[in-house]
Structure 1
Amino acid sequence: MVFLTNEGASSSSSTHQWDYDVFLSFQGEDTRNNFTGHLYKALCDQGFDTFIDNDLQKGEEISMELLKVIELSMISIVVFSKNFASSTWCLKKLVKIFECRSNGQWVLPIFYKVDPSEIRKQDGEYGIAIAKHEEKFKDDIEKVQKWRKTLTEAANLSGFHYNDGYTEFEFIQRVIKEISNTISNHEPLFVAKHPVGIDIQAEAIELLLDLESNDVCMVGICGFGGIGKTTISKAVYNRIAHHFEGSYFLENVRERSKINGDIIQLQEKLLSKILRDRDLKVHNVFECINLIKKRLRSKKVLLILDDVEDLKEVENLLGECDWFASKSRVIITRRDRHVLTTLGRDT
């Protein structure tokens, strides 16, 4: 457990900047002139800055410019269609997308008239395509094995499965709603009207969090009320939230926990934001604790609990930090060290 006592600060404007809201990855011959084309138009009509690669595939290698576009996109939508795996171009982009996913980019798979199990098991058309790649790249079999592994990872993600049971319009509207929810969760926090001089404190906290470490790390920020604990933690959140699969800043925990029943609402809010499920409901504190343990243990998350008063609030909202996936990070702000030192002895 690490402590940083702040003795005065103001604000920060440091945030991760995305050039695009959405990057569309697809097999051109299958869907460019139908489903993906319609999805692209719907995204643009809703105001999402969306990149679609309209250049025809040239050669085997992906340009550095296109790789950079993938890196600078908040969300990648991958449209898996019948002939997706036959394209080395698509497979190479998929590998790059999943590399970016480890740095906080969200990946939404769409299974367009193909069953996710076919991709996961690599049978059917996907099995035939991968077998052809293995024959073609017999001198570089590791590359094909990476394609196999990434396809399996993608098929295991939660996504949308399109088949003839939906109208295309209805299906695309469901995708648009999901994208809208996700982007709203990535909006930077307002730190201060006139941000001045907080970057040094925010950088210090970021160093303590040691984002490269595989451990689950917790940092406490303590000090008197009004000295800038919340401001610092918001600035840190804006700087690093893009590194995580899910993140949430829970403000005014002490005050909101005093309201009868509001701890359940806080738990619901925390889970719904991280899981991107606006309809999530729980009936009691213990049910939500179990959900936190079950649903977040496989996610790399960033959680900030602002102005915590007692250990029970932490237990109700976080359970135990070892419930979270490796590389998760927790920040707790508190007026004195008592709760923080207790947590420090337990972790």
Structure 2
Amino acid sequence: MSSSSSSYSSPSSSSEAKWRFDVFINFRGEDVRYGFVTDLHRCLIHGKINAYIDSEDLRRGDEISELMKAIDESRIAVLFFSENYASSRWCLDELVKVMECRRLKEQRVLPVFYKVKPGDIRGLRGSYGDALTGYEKKSGQDSERVKKWREALIEAADLSGWHYDPGQSQNETEFIEMIVKEISTIVKRVPLSVAKYPVGVRCRVEEVMSLLSMGSDDVRMIGIWGPGGVGKTTISKAVYNSIFDQFDGCSFLANVRETSSRPDGLIHLQNKLLSQILWKETLSVLGVDRGANLIRDILCSRKILLVLDDVDHRDQLNALAGEREWFGKGSRIIITTRDKRVLTFYRIHQVYGVKPLDQGEAFDLLSSYAFPGNQPKDISRDLIYNILGYANGLPLAIVVLGPFVKDRSREEWESTLEKLAESPNKDINSVLKISFDALEDNERDIFLDIACFFKGRERKYVTRVLDSCGLSTLIGIQILIERSLVTIVHDHTVQMHDLIQQMGQDVIKRECLNDPGKRSRLWCYDDVYEVLSAATVRASHETIDNLIFFNLHAITKLQLVINDYFLFLGREPLMLRA
């Protein structure tokens, strides 16, 4: 199976399979074994954190490979840099292995600077410089092993960690508790549930990861944009699971649009953001502006991962992630939205536009839900592709319809398709209609006219006709594009997803379910014929005046019907728009 259609499994979704130990502790025994490290190890074990403590009596013969294997299988490595750390070749070899695992396996590395300054390690001054100089004299300046030690020390000393300085009256017990708490927040993070059958997610996650550029230390904001039901939340969850181990704190805020619309909704979201990152159950945010300042002041020095899911207004970003300067070096902020304008307003130019599933991915996803065993013999490929044609690559539609048609007969599949042709599935429709409900009147009218009459027509023609009806079409179509309701394809024609079009047409039908003549738009031949052929005593000039646009296959027949009716009323024949 190709990567584009294969299921995605987050590396963090099964931490037990990936990591045998939660923590590996690397230290120079003569400096800190008795007291500090022993107390830390005891506290970690008491907190049910599986910590591997390096024991120097293992450093013999073949057992060295076991030590390196323990590093390889640890989720977190804690490095205790002490005064005589660099005098131990074993410590330096372990350090090189740890930094290798950080690069290749995304292992989290937390340095503790115990009575030493990070700058002295980075600059290889004092005991660290003396030790490296001694090694070089013994083995030569070009020794590959010494070169790796030097590079690993400089790289590790540049990581954020803890600095213990007894000269500043630090309490050792409190210092240990602080380390344990931080490790606990990392270990206790659990991956988010992505999808039952995450078909096609892997390749999309990889494309988002390329935008995140995880190797850089800048604060990066990216957007994931697309229509409702296309999989933005699923992708953002999978990305979150892939990388959350690499940050000091993480927060995934789901349903931002819905939550922020409630009384004090933004304050609730601010509280939740800080609670998730700081691992505190309750925080007191007294107002949106104060909450924004609190987020900035607390998180400006922390490397955090923040996902804001389903954002639809800049006020939400102002309250939760106003500026890149709010967050520490290396932070990543991911925003999912249906409205591209929200991203443009915040100068977020790294945007991943989510594409619908291709035919192979859609088939695999439908099969996963509808045929978890084998495909029944009486369900033909034609029936399957008719369902896929209705879904048109929208994962939401397949996830809803797949379980519905599971274990149903061929006749029930056919009946389902007939029902869907008449009216949309309410679960799918309710998700898609959120974008329509957020439109203003000008954009609603343009959207409904496109859904009923102009899908597939040339953009200039649509603009000319709708402008003549008093609509601001140029900006209106642009807003519909930004909100993932309309697309302009390469030949400059106006298009929209079939299910979005059906949603729009359903809005018109529900204006009056039983009397098409009372609807604002008519587009299908049967409805128009019914209105024009009804008892003339019920007809009115208003009914005719409301028949503005027609986009029909049987346009010649309709022309005759309408013109005959106009002659009956003594009015001039109607000229249909070309």
TM-score by length of 1: 0.73
Are 2:247 and 1:209 equivalent residues in the alignment? no
The structure in which a higher percent of residues are strand is 1
Deviation at 1:325, TM superposition (A): 8.4
Deviation at 1:109, TM superposition (A): 2.4
Task: Give the SS at the match of 1:309.
Answer: coil
Q: Are the structure 2 counterparts of residues 232 and 286 from structure 1 closer, same or farther at C-alpha, using a change threshold of 3 Å?
A: closer
Q: Compare 73-82 and 213-222 and name the one that shifted more.
A: 213-222
CA contact 1:134–1:144 (8 Å) conserved in 2: yes
Q: Are the structure 2 counterparts of residues 36 and 324 from structure 1 closer, same or farther at C-alpha, using a change threshold of 3 Å?
A: closer
The residue number in structure 2 matching 1:135 is: 137
Q: Which of 89, 107, 110 is equivalent to 2:109? A: 107
The residue number in structure 2 matching 1:172 is: 176
Q: Which amino acid aligns with 2:337?
A: R
CA contact 2:254–2:310 (8 Å) conserved in 1: yes
Q: Aligned partners of 1:167, 1:262: CA distance in 2, in Å? A: 40
Q: Are the structure 2 counterparts of residues 127 and 45 from structure 1 closer, same or farther at C-alpha, using a change threshold of 3 Å?
A: same
The residue number in structure 2 matching 1:263 is: 266
The residue number in structure 2 matching 1:242 is: 245
Task: Give the SS at the match of 1:32.
Answer: helix
Deviation at 1:328, TM superposition (A): 6.2
Deviation at 1:210, TM superposition (A): 2.0
Alignment deviations for residues 291-317 of structure 1 (CA, whole Å, 9 cap, x no partner): 599546xx4x54321111123323543
CA contact 1:219–1:332 (8 Å) conserved in 2: yes
Alignment deviations for residues 277-298 of structure 1 (CA, whole Å, 9 cap, x no partner): 75998863663575599546xx
Task: Give the SS at the match of 1:127.
Answer: helix
The residue number in structure 2 matching 1:307 is: 310
Q: Which amino acid aligns with 2:128?
A: Y
Q: Aligned partners of 1:174, 1:331: CA distance in 2, in Å? A: 29
Are 2:84 and 1:83 equivalent residues in the alignment? yes
Q: Which of 10, 15, 21 is equivalent to 1:14? A: 10
Q: Are the structure 2 counterparts of residues 206 and 288 from structure 1 closer, same or farther at C-alpha, using a change threshold of 3 Å?
A: farther
Alignment deviations for residues 65-98 of structure 1 (CA, whole Å, 9 cap, x no partner): 5444324322211122232110122122223323
- Per chain length, whose mean CA-contact separation is higher, i.e. which structure has more relative contact order (CA < 8 Å, sep 6+)? 1
Q: Which of 278, 284, 287 is equivalent to 2:293? A: 287
Q: Are the structure 2 counterparts of residues 314 and 45 from structure 1 closer, same or farther at C-alpha, using a change threshold of 3 Å?
A: same
Q: Which amino acid aligns with 2:43?
A: A
Give the fraction of aligned pairs with identical amino acids, expressed as a percent.
Answer: 42
CA contact 1:15–1:188 (8 Å) conserved in 2: no
The residue number in structure 2 matching 1:73 is: 74
Q: Which amino acid aligns with 2:107?
A: Q
The residue number in structure 1 matching 2:47 is: 46
Q: Aligned partners of 1:45, 1:207: CA distance in 2, in Å? A: 41
Task: Give the SS at the match of 2:130.
Answer: helix
Q: Aligned partners of 1:303, 1:341: CA distance in 2, in Å? A: 19
The residue number in structure 1 matching 2:97 is: 96
Task: Give the SS at the match of 1:233.
Answer: helix
The residue number in structure 2 matching 1:198 is: 198
Deviation at 1:344, TM superposition (A): 7.8
Q: Which amino acid aligns with 1:29?
A: E
Q: Which amino acid aligns with 1:249?
A: F
Question: Radius of gyration: which is bigger?
Answer: 2
The residue number in structure 1 matching 2:31 is: 30
Q: Compare 150-159 and 314-323 and name the one that shifted more.
A: 314-323
Gaps spanning 5+ residues in structure 1: where? 1-10
Task: Give the SS at the match of 1:29.
Answer: helix
Q: Which amino acid aligns with 2:240?
A: Y
Q: Are the structure 2 counterparts of residues 253 and 46 from structure 1 closer, same or farther at C-alpha, using a change threshold of 3 Å?
A: same
Q: Which amino acid aligns with 1:206?
A: E
The structure in which a higher percent of residues are helix is 2
The residue number in structure 2 matching 1:7 is: none
Q: Aligned partners of 1:291, 1:167: CA distance in 2, in Å? A: 25
TM-score by length of 2: 0.47
Q: Are the structure 2 counterparts of residues 155 and 333 from structure 1 closer, same or farther at C-alpha, using a change threshold of 3 Å?
A: closer
Alignment deviations for residues 253-276 of structure 1 (CA, whole Å, 9 cap, x no partner): 1133235555356456546755x5
CA contact 2:121–2:157 (8 Å) conserved in 1: yes
Q: Aligned partners of 1:204, 1:237: CA distance in 2, in Å? A: 13
CA contact 2:222–2:333 (8 Å) conserved in 1: yes
Q: Which of 113, 118, 121 is equivalent to 1:119? A: 121
Task: Give the SS at the match of 1:234.
Answer: helix
Q: Which amino acid aligns with 1:37?
A: T
CA contact 2:164–2:175 (8 Å) conserved in 1: no
Q: Aligned partners of 1:97, 1:32: CA distance in 2, in Å? A: 19
Cα RMSD for the two superposed structures: 4.1
Deviation at 1:187, TM superposition (A): 2.0
Q: Aligned partners of 1:40, 1:292: CA distance in 2, in Å? A: 29
Deviation at 1:221, TM superposition (A): 4.2
CA contact 1:230–1:333 (8 Å) conserved in 2: yes
Alignment deviations for residues 16-49 of structure 1 (CA, whole Å, 9 cap, x no partner): 2232211110113333344323322221122101
Q: Are the structure 2 counterparts of residues 245 and 26 from structure 1 closer, same or farther at C-alpha, using a change threshold of 3 Å?
A: same
CA contact 2:274–2:295 (8 Å) conserved in 1: no
Q: Are the structure 2 counterparts of residues 325 and 39 from structure 1 closer, same or farther at C-alpha, using a change threshold of 3 Å?
A: closer
Gaps spanning 5+ residues in structure 2: where? 1-6, 351-578
CA contact 2:79–2:110 (8 Å) conserved in 1: yes
Q: Aligned partners of 2:300, 2:227: CA distance in 1, in Å? A: 33
CA contact 2:186–2:245 (8 Å) conserved in 1: no
Q: Aligned partners of 2:119, 2:73: CA distance in 1, in Å? A: 30
